[in-house]
Structure 1
Amino acid sequence: MKQLINGVAYHYEWLAPFVKNQPTLVCLHGFTGTSETFRFLVDENDNAPNITTPTYNYLLVDILGHGQSSVFVHPYRYQFEQVLNDLIQLLECLSLQRVSLLGYSMGARLALGLATLMPARFEHIILESGSPGLKTEEERKARKISDQRLAGRLINQPLTDFVDFWQNIPLFNTQKQLSLDVQQAVRNERLTQQKVGLACSLQYMGTGRQPSYWDTLANLTEPNIHLIVGELDNKFVKIASEMKRIQPQLQVTTVANTGHCVHLERPEIFKKIIHHILLEVPHAN
């Protein structure tokens, strides 16, 4: 299904028919991904009675420039704050008053941005390998330059070449231990993208364009924020530790022998973590 937000179409999908009296978890994927990455959260077995599995509506969204959402729009529509406003309006259009958010990497950065923008609107914010951004203007400037170069590389070469490069960056080294079928599925998902959408996402929605939420974090006591990181992802383990130091109410779950993309590398463990979090404070729309 698609929803038009200020002239931009956002693709979304319910994993099961929407039930009004059930709480909702909105899932936001990472860069080069699509909403398909979270489809595993609900399978046929989850329809069987199970007191340990929370009854939730699961809403999957393709972020702008990815999947089946709009790609060929003015670059200003890709700006970080603009996408945050789009997602708020999407919730309004779907009559979702209070929801929980799950975001991975880029999706986690957006989820944290939403939490700072309208904290009372959300029950749980679950950040998988997420960051509050870069602390200084100098760091953001350097990252913008880096992202612009990467976007230029993406535009000026075949998508297959960029995907080959991207899946071999050190951040994803642990994924080489996955089965060839899983690795190929991830590659195929990336190859469905449009180069323009990915390039605009890098340039206007990347970490260098994200506001720093480090100062905001100390006072962000609502909603409930949960961090999920892989033990082998040293950079994001350190980020999670620093976030916890600044805001002690944050909950951090570190998954052993796992890298950046926890839900891909340890799907069953990840699903159990999500279910445990959602069982804490179920809240209906």
Structure 2
Amino acid sequence: MLRWARAWGVPRGTLGASSPRCSAVSVAFSSGQGNADPRPLPLSYTLLDGETTLPAIVFLHGLFGSKTNFNSIAKAMVQRTGRRVLTVDARNHGSSPHSTDASYEAMSQDLQGLLPQLGLMPCVLIGHSMGGKTAMLLALQKPDVVERLVVVDISPVGTTPGSYLGDFITAMKAVDIPEKVPHSQARKLVDKQLSSVVKDPSVRQFLLTNLVEVDGRFSWRVNLDILAQHLDKILTFPQQLGSYPGPTLFLCGGNSKYVQPSHHSEIRRLFPQAQIQTVSNAGHWVHSDKPQDFMDAVNSFLA
């Protein structure tokens, strides 16, 4: 029976950019055992070198994602902007530690611990979906930490569409792989077992990139139990009374329903300088569906 793993992001496009002339620092921490300590967790991250006089760009992935979701875009951003670029695994995701606390407050605290440690304040904070909610909360709580904010296809209003995610978690937990099978065979078995619930082949293929082998057994790395327990809270956003005064871009997929026109008034209440821009022919994963349009929009906003 499978243990747990990271997943999600569904990359549907690539940038094809050559590697930037910069060094990458990758730090990975082993998953802890249900840490409920309110202190920040030591997140796994990759930092690409760039000009230290400019605010760094920090990417936050969505639910079940990881820092690798932004690998191509991060490298292209270094080339196009000359800035340092940081990609981060959220708690309970990727190579970051696990915790029984999956709240946005806790994820914001993790970043408040990491960013000053790396000397990346203030930064340009870019968050997709769950990462967008973490980014919004951090900007509202600590506006001096965030020089500019980009929120990708999510809003601070209501419940996120995503009732199917609970079914995905259940299906992932139920996957059964015999011991001592080759990785290629394990992938085929998981793909077949997930197909009755995860209909989109591209989603399944993304999930399968996160299948890992540990001591001869295959496992998922995301903390599925905790995310399942807290899914309702993850799909909402904590009520906020303050506002973030800095420049803000809400970048929405033209084919997505995550940000509705009825959300705009609350967006502008919390983020008075917000621009709301739509990327045509993109779904919820704007950066994967239309990577060049995503890059152009972000670079225009930075300019």
The answer to whether the superposition gives a TM-score over 0.5 is yes
Whole-Å separation in 1 of the counterparts to 2:165 and 2:281:
33
How much is the aligned-residue C-alpha RMSD, in angstroms? 3.5
Matched, 1:241 2:268: no
Query: 2:40·2:110 contact (CA, 8 Å) conserved in 1?
Result: no
Whole-Å separation in 1 of the counterparts to 2:194 and 2:228:
14
Whole-Å separation in 2 of the counterparts to 1:239 and 1:212:
17
In the alignment, what sits opposite 2:243?
A: 220
How many angstroms does 1:154 deviate by? 5.1
Query: 2:94·2:221 contact (CA, 8 Å) conserved in 1?
Result: no
In the alignment, what sits opposite 2:229?
A: 203
The CA deviation string for residues 109-162 of structure 1, in whole angstroms up to 9 with x for no partner, is 10001011101221111000122143xxxx79xx9xx69965872574128478
How many angstroms does 1:34 deviate by? 0.9
How many angstroms does 1:278 deviate by? 1.6
C-alpha distance 187-132 of structure 1, shift in aligned 2 (>3 A): same
The runs of 5 or more residues in structure 2 that have no matched partner are 1-25, 30-37, 177-189, 213-218
Secondary structure of 2:283's match?
Answer: coil
In the alignment, what sits opposite 1:194?
A: 220
In the alignment, what sits opposite 1:101?
A: 125
How many corresponding residue pairs? 247
Whole-Å separation in 1 of the counterparts to 2:146 and 2:283:
28
More helix, by proportion: 1
In the alignment, what sits opposite 2:43?
A: 10
AA aligned opposite 2:155:
S
TM-score by length of 1: 0.72
C-alpha distance 220-232 of structure 1, shift in aligned 2 (>3 A): same
Matched, 1:20 2:37: no
In the alignment, what sits opposite 1:65?
A: 92
AA aligned opposite 2:175:
P
The runs of 5 or more residues in structure 1 that have no matched partner are 48-52, 169-175, 280-285
Matched, 1:232 2:265: no
Secondary structure of 1:153's match?
Answer: helix
Whole-Å separation in 2 of the counterparts to 1:44 and 1:261:
18
Whole-Å separation in 1 of the counterparts to 2:131 and 2:299:
19
AA aligned opposite 2:46:
E
C-alpha distance 38-68 of structure 1, shift in aligned 2 (>3 A): same
Whole-Å separation in 1 of the counterparts to 2:107 and 2:76:
33
